[in-house]
Structure 1
Amino acid sequence: MARALTAYLFRADVPARAALQTALDGLKLKLVLDDGYLPLVSSGYLPCTLDGEDAGFTIRFREADTDLSKFPALAAAIAGRDVAVDVKWSGDVREQVSAMGVCAALAGSFGALVHDPEKDELRDSGKLLGRAKAGLEEL
């Protein structure tokens, strides 16, 4: 699986930290976002705590691309979502679990389309949560 995904949201649906944390709590991953998360502003490494240990991933907000000709699956489903949230992680399992958890929360609670640009595939919240839980089992 790629080590980068992009979540597409409507600008009005980009969650504040408290709302995103509530969605994460509902996933039961024991994942806590750093207080430094700022919707539409955060850029760079976002620290998290995963079951009491340091974790995190790289996040970047940007305007969604308008030319999606390279991504027909995304183009067919994007439906006007205008904000892209790029999420990247290293080979560290804690980073992967953190990134997958946040993407699962965005998809499940805020209507995000989560896209794997390497394969032009959309990932639903259930699949993302499954990957996060599989990563937890590796720890």
Structure 2
Amino acid sequence: MADDDGMREKVAWILLRDQRVLVTRNRGRELFYFPGGKREPGESDDQTLVREIDEELQAAIDAGSMVHFGTFEIPAGHPAHGPFRMICYTAGHRGELIPSQEIEEKAWFRHADRDRVTAVDAMVFDALHERGLLP
């Protein structure tokens, strides 16, 4: 779904554990990405994240604990198919992280693994690294 400015958007979840960050990979894809997805019409960011994480990882996001981590954009004309915006949140959750049918694999990456994620996700990896959260 695109925002009012026509830019495609995704709401993503940043989950850190033991100096690693959670990423997922869809079936048939090579690159990993942060879990989350596009808004349905009329959804807020918290509603989107709650729904998407339930669909992708069968876990319940605690919407009250959501904290905006940052918004990352790939401009129009970028080789990674811009324009694209990813709005990232940290949040607590309940339940085990169990990949759904669309998710082939979940993994826990360090900054050194940034070449295994999409271009916009690599931007988030760099921000996590710069803030000392992802070695």
* Structure-1-length-normalised TM-score: 0.28
Q: Which is helix-richer, 1 or 2?
A: 1
TM-score with structure 2 setting the length: 0.29
